[in-house]
Structure 1
Amino acid sequence: MATAINSNLGAGSGLPLTETLAKLRTVEEAPLALLAKQYQRNKSKLDAYNTLRNTVASFQNAGNALAKPLLSSDKNLFGATTAKVTGGEGLTATTGNGAIAGQYSVTIQSLATRGVRSGALDSDLDRYAQLGTGGTVTFKLKGDTADTEPRTLELKDTSLEGIVRAINDDKNLGVRATIINDGTSRHLQLTAGDTGVDADIDSITITGNDDVKTQIFDKLTNTQAAANASIKINDIVVSSGSNTVEDAIQGITLNLTAADPSKAYTLDVADNTEATLEGIRAFVTSYNAILSQIGVYTDYTTKSENNTAPLNGDYLARSVQSRIRETLTPVLDSGDYRTLSGMGITTNFKTGQLEIDETKLTTALRERPGDVTAIFQGETGVAAKTKAVTEEMLRTDGLFYNGRTSLERTQENLEKQDEQVRARIEDTMARYTARFVALDVLVAQMSSTSSYLTSQISVLNGTRNS
């Protein structure tokens, strides 16, 4: 708490005690300015660490995108392809990992359909009335095997409404239920949860409740047969339980929406070098972003409060710069394109940043895609090295963690020092104030005594003269 300065201080003595105390406080507070400067310098360094860490994390993400393995669930940037369907509506296609460029003829002979069972219920059946007590309903689908988990529903609410709700709430049953009113009677309709023969209802078994069996499920008959989709690919007939046909052609997903046995679609699958280029560009951009930030943070000509960059001469910045360069060193034992520079990715000798010769890289991707893939996705390729280097820097006991922990500890110490210095200043100022108050009183008393003596001497001198 700051020591208040009495504005009347010095009034008794006539001395400039208030001004003197203010000057003394300025002198005492000089160490605070130094601490504040140290605190701000340390904070600037901590902020730079955090920003640089985020940039390294972005670099890690760019490297991870290059590392997606073939045939994984994630899109692979290398060997990427595009699909184009001509011949009208009814068929679309998408490509995934492992798709191979080529042309295919596709004819959709029939679509996959869901099996349906339905039946008219007694007109006097109250949909909310309980039918007996308890019991179970077990569904068996045509594709179920001895290892399939039983699809059994325990009947708690035995009303028609309750049974329909319970069927729809249990996704494991593989069946959907609905009530349809045709104006004269209600119909219960059960629809297979998926298309295709294997998803069709094979049997329904009711145990422990004859009322439910006779009044509801015995009324059902097959009203729509389930069927698999049938397509012809280059004269090879393919059957699918779904209208989304995956990997009938490696890496290709076909989406069927209309059947016409007389109609042939043409599916063209082409290499998509642009997707690969985009991934490499993102990697180069994130790599260069790290070098740019380090350049700004370590450039002595960068002006700040202490006339230097926050990471000038800093070990962490030098370490990051050195480590990320390790990601650029893969060399193939053989091939037309054995290095990054050989395929058009070079280092600017002045700035250290990467530059891409788009023409040269595109040529490499078209002529020797395997070489490019090996450079980036090999066991010791760019992606693997990037993963290893960035994980080491970003882990909880890594370079950034240790650096930030040290700076945060320094910040805490500086804050404590600031509190201690301020407390010491207030103690000192309190002592100064007490002494100045005493001085003011003493000088005022002496001045009063002096005035009294002067007046008495004047009286004595006047008496003698008379």
Structure 2
Amino acid sequence: MANITFGGLVTGIDTTSIVTQLMNLERAPERLLQAQQKKNTDKISAYQKIEDALTSLQSLAKGFKTAETFSSLKTTVANSSVLTATADSGAMPGSHSVQVVSLAKSQRQVTAGVASATDLLFGAGTFTIDGGAPITIAAGQNSLRGIADAINASGAKVSASIINDGTNYRMVINGTDTVNHNFDFTGLGAGPVLLGVGDPTYQDAAQAQLVVDGVNITKPTNTVTDAIQGVTLNLMTEGASTTISVAIDTDAVTKRINDFVAAYNNVNTLISAQLKYDPATKSAGTLSGDSALRTIQSQLKSLLTTSVSGATGSYNTLAQIGIKSDSKTGALSVESAKLSKVLSEDYDNVVDYFTHNGSSLNTTLPRNQYGIAQQFSLVIDTMVKPYVAGATSGLLESRKNWLSTANSRIDDQIEAMELRFEKMQTNLLNQYNRMETTVSRLQTQGNMLLNSLGLMTTSSTSSSK
């Protein structure tokens, strides 16, 4: 429990105020440490914002460091009621003719109608699907619904459901593939009656038949993924033909490049704001003069004019494909007409400039032998690579770790100071308390002395009378 003091009761001196002021003076070094700690924390926050922006830029660069991820393809179907088509990165530009001769169909069989779906109208026993293991129908399960449930639980590539035709209940069995399945209900004695070929409800299973560029193709499903390289077809109408065109989607590539430029500019803006100094207001960014930021700024700027060793074509800078840099602000901008022209007329060389050796598993290649996208990724990695003690870490991560460590040391210093301040304050209060006690005792002794002198004077006066 803290000591309770009442300063100045005897002397009239405000000892509490004096002690508070003395301790405030003693805490001056602590306040300096706290101010430094806040500066460190602000720097960590500023570094983190820039690191987040760099990570976003790196993510975009990684997203188109290979020819497969850089390129985007689009498909155009002349008659979209016949089929739809989508292309992935493995597709090749070109045109294809497709005739859908017949669609893939699953088998469908329907039973004769019965008065109830739940009444026990059939025999108990077993039945088989495609001659497989017997499926047991126990007493109490031998209704139309019970048999449908048993089919669904069998694991066979069929599904059963119950419908009502307005008068009776029927079981509809649909295959989940393009194979005709056989059902043997004789083991039930009196089993459901399946309506077979010739009945309008019956549908035979069939595979899809199509002709692609004059080649007859048979597939087990209406979703065809391997008839045309990199193109997925979804067949919709049989007995119809159409054409499919696969082309480079320059709009998607342009958007990807514009997103990259925007991410670069975000990094550039954040760094510039931190390095800026306003002589009029004498204000500066949290990281003003920071050498790490100047290094990052310089490295990113140098990439704008970095060549790609071994790349085809004549592109050595981003400006040559329509991405120019402002000489004052360092911000990038896209010359849309120029970019559109090179993408239309020299697409393959643009791709190689961005993606050269991007798919290579040899990570020991010199940096300039990679496409510009991978070069950006590698350089940014030297800035944001997570900190690991004793290992090569990113520049910003190392700075953040150093500042965090400095703040931890300051915490230790402040903790030690607080212990010393607590003792000092206790000692000062004790000293003033002892002073008050001493003054009080002296006042008491003085009063006693005065009283004694007063008595002596009175006694002498009486004796003289």
Q: Which range, TM-score by smaller chain?
A: 0.7 to 0.9
C-alpha change, 1:126 and 1:51, in structure 2 (3 Å) is: same
Matched, 1:281 2:258: yes
C-alpha change, 1:308 and 1:458, in structure 2 (3 Å) is: farther
C-alpha change, 1:81 and 1:281, in structure 2 (3 Å) is: same
* 2:330 alignment partner, one of 313, 336, 352: 352
Matched, 1:257 2:253: no
Q: How far off is 1:44 after superposition?
A: 1.2
SS of equivalent to 1:311: coil
Q: Deviations over 1:147-198 (max 9, x none)?
A: xxxxx7785775464554455457x64322223454666544332214xxxx
Q: How does 1:25-104 map to 2 (within 5 A)?
A: 25-67=23-65, 69-70=67-68, 76-78=69-71, 80-87=72-79, 89-104=81-96
Q: How does 1:163-312 map to 2 (within 5 A)?
A: 164-165=148-149, 167-168=151-152, 173-182=156-165, 186-194=169-177, 199-203=178-182, 211=187, 219=194, 221=196, 223-233=202-212, 236-261=215-240, 264-301=241-278, 309-312=285-288
Find the aligned partners of 1:268 and 1:354 in 2 and give their Cα distance: 35
C-alpha change, 1:356 and 1:178, in structure 2 (3 Å) is: same
Unpaired runs of 5+ residues, structure 2, are 358-369
SS of equivalent to 1:201: coil
Matched, 1:388 2:365: no
Amino acid at match of 2:172: Q
Find the aligned partners of 1:28 and 1:173 in 2 and give their Cα distance: 85
Question: Which stretch has the larger CA shift, 401-410 or 50-59?
Answer: 401-410
- Answer yes or no: is the 8 Å Cα contact 1:296–1:302 preserved in 2: no
Which TM-score applies when normalising by structure 2? 0.77
- Answer yes or no: is the 8 Å Cα contact 1:332–1:339 preserved in 2: no
Q: How far off is 1:233 after superposition?
A: 4.7
Match of 2:346 in 1: 368
- Answer yes or no: is the 8 Å Cα contact 1:121–1:215 preserved in 2: no
Question: Which stretch has the larger CA shift, 218-227 or 353-362?
Answer: 218-227
Match of 1:432 in 2: 428
C-alpha change, 1:13 and 1:85, in structure 2 (3 Å) is: same
Amino acid at match of 1:369: Y
Amino acid at match of 1:189: V
Amino acid at match of 1:394: K
Q: How far off is 1:366 after superposition?
A: 0.6
C-alpha change, 1:130 and 1:233, in structure 2 (3 Å) is: closer
C-alpha change, 1:418 and 1:396, in structure 2 (3 Å) is: closer
Find the aligned partners of 1:30 and 1:165 in 2 and give their Cα distance: 82
- Answer yes or no: is the 8 Å Cα contact 1:77–1:275 preserved in 2: no
Find the aligned partners of 2:182 and 2:295 in 1 and give their Cα distance: 69
C-alpha change, 1:396 and 1:33, in structure 2 (3 Å) is: closer
Which TM-score applies when normalising by structure 1? 0.77
Unpaired runs of 5+ residues, structure 1, are 71-75, 141-151
